[in-house]
A and B are shown apart, each in its own frame.
Chain A
Amino acid sequence: MAHVLDLGALEPVPVLSFPAGGRDAAAMAADVRAVAEGDGDAFGRVYAAYGRMVRAILLGRVPRREVDDLTQEVFLTAYTRVRELRDPAAFGGWIAAIARNRATDHLRQSRDHDELPAEVPGGDAIEADTLIVLDAVRRLPQAYRETLLMRLVEGLSGAEIADRTGLSPGSVRVNLHRGMKLLREKLGQ
Chain B
Amino acid sequence: MTNDERPTTDEYLWDGSGAPDPETARIARLLGGLRTPLPPVPDVTRIARLKPSRSSDRAYRGIRFIAPTLAAAAAIVLMIAATWRATQTPRSWEVERLAGRPQIESTPIAHTARISVGETLVTDAASRARLDVSTIGQVVVDNDTRVRLVDTRRAHHKLALVSGTLHAFITAPPGQFVVDTPSSTVTDLGCVYTLHVDEDGTGLLSVTAGWVAFEYRGRESFVPAGASSRTDPENGPGTPRYDDADEAFRNALDLLDSGDNVKGTFGARAFVLAHARPKDAMTLWHLISRVRESERGEVIDALAARAPMPAGVTREAVMRLDHSALDQWWDSLGLRDATWWRKWKGRYPLDR
Contacts and interface: CB of A to CB of B under 8 A. Distances in A.
Interface of A: 1, 3-5, 7-8, 10-14, 16, 18, 38, 40, 43-44, 47-48, 51-52, 55, 59, 64-66, 68-69, 71-73, 75-77, 79-81, 83-84, 105, 108-110, 113-116, 120, 122-124, 126-127, 129-130, 133-134, 137, 148-149, 151-155, 157-159, 172-173, 176-177, 180, 183-184, 187
B48 interface: yes
Interface in B296-312: 307
23 contacts: A3-B18, A5-B20, A7-B25, A13-B20, A47-B41, A48-B38, A52-B38, A65-B337, A71-B38, A75-B41, A76-B47, A79-B42, A79-B44, A109-B344, A110-B343, A113-B339, A137-B31, A152-B32, A153-B35, A155-B35, A173-B14, A176-B13, A180-B27
B288 to A, nearest CB: 19
B268 interface: no
B60 interface: yes
B60 A84 contact: yes
A108 B333 CA distance: 25
Given A3-B19, A10-B26, A126 B331 contact: no
Interface stretch (B117-125, B168-176, B178-186, B237-245): B168-176
Contact of A123 (B18, B334, B337): B334
Interface string B307-348: 100000000000000000000000111111101101110000
Interface of B: 9-10, 13-20, 22-36, 38-39, 41-42, 44-45, 47-52, 56-57, 60, 138, 169, 171, 173-174, 190-192, 209-211, 225, 307, 331-337, 339-340, 342-344
A149 B34 CA distance: 10
Given A83-B51, A153-B34, 10 more contacts: A1-B17, A5-B19, A13-B28, A51-B38, A59-B34, A72-B209, A76-B192, A79-B44, A157-B16, A180-B27
Contacts of B333: 123
Given A16-B16, A137-B31, A80 B173 contact: no
Contacts of A114: 339, 342
Nearest to B333: A123
A40 B41 CA distance: 10
Nearest to B42: A72
A130 B31 contact: yes
Contacts of A134: 31, 34
